[in-house]
Amino acid sequence: MTSTLIQKVFRWARRKSLWVLHYNSGGCNGCDIEFLDLLTPRYDVERLGIRQESVPRHADILLCTGPVTRQSRDRVLQIFTQIPEPKWVVVVGSCGCSGGVFQGSDYVLGGVDQVIPVDLYIPGCPCRPEIIIEGLIKLLEKIE
C-alpha cells in the first residue's frame, strides 16, 4: 500500500469513529445537559461514529462548554496537550465562544480560544442538541 492510500484509509476510519472528550471549563451546566442529550437513544450520535471518551490520549475532539476561568485555564491546556494529533477543538455555547454572560467577570478569561485554538464554534445559550449535531457533521465533512 502506498503512503497516500494508508493516509486515506486512516482519514476514512477517523471520520467514522470520532471520540469526543467533553470538558466544562466554567459554564452553568446548561450546555452540558444538551450535549449529554446527544448520547441518549433519542439523538444517538453513535450512529454517526461519534462517542464520548474520558481519556485525553484516546480522544480526537475536545468539546468545551463554558468560558475559560482562571481556575480552569491550566486544565484546558493540559487536556489539549494530552490529546494526540490530529485533534480538533469544538466549542459549544456562547460562553465558550466569547465568554457569554460571564464576560467581564474577574475570574473569567473569556472564550476557549483565549487559551487553545478552536476549529468549530457552535453558539447558543444553551445550544440545542440538533445544532450541536449539525456542527459535528460539518466538522466530519471538513475532516473528510
Based on the shown chain and the rule CB under 6 A, indicate whether residue 69 belongs to the binding site for ligand SF4: no
CA 6 to CA 98: how far, in whole Å? 39
Give the one residue of 14, 15, 19, 30 binding ligand SF4; rule: CB under 6 A.
30
- Is 27 an interacting residue with respect to ligand SF4 (CB under 6 A)? yes
Position among 94, 111, 118, 133 found at the interface with ligand SF4 (CB under 6 A): 94
How far apart (Å, rounded) are the C-alpha atoms in residues 28 and 121? 18
> Is 93 among the residues that bind ligand SF4 (CB under 6 A)?
yes
Q: Are 61 and 88 in contact (CB under 8 A)?
A: yes
Residue closer to ligand SF4 by CB (options 59, 68) is: 68
The least distance separating ligand SF4 from the CB of residue 4, rounded to whole angstroms, comes to: 42
Per CB under 6 A, the list member of 25, 65, 72, 98 interacting with ligand SF4 is 65
Cell numbers standing for residue 80: 489539549
Residue with cell 469544538: 90
DSSP 62-125: EEEESPEETTTHHHHHHHHHHSPSS-EEEEESHHHHH-GGGTT-TTEEESGGGTS--SEEE--T
Only segment of 13-21, 37-45, 68-76, 95-103 that touches ligand SF4 (CB under 6 A): 95-103
Give the binding site for ligand SF4 (CB under 6 A).
Answer: 27-28, 30-31, 65-66, 93-95, 100-101, 125-126
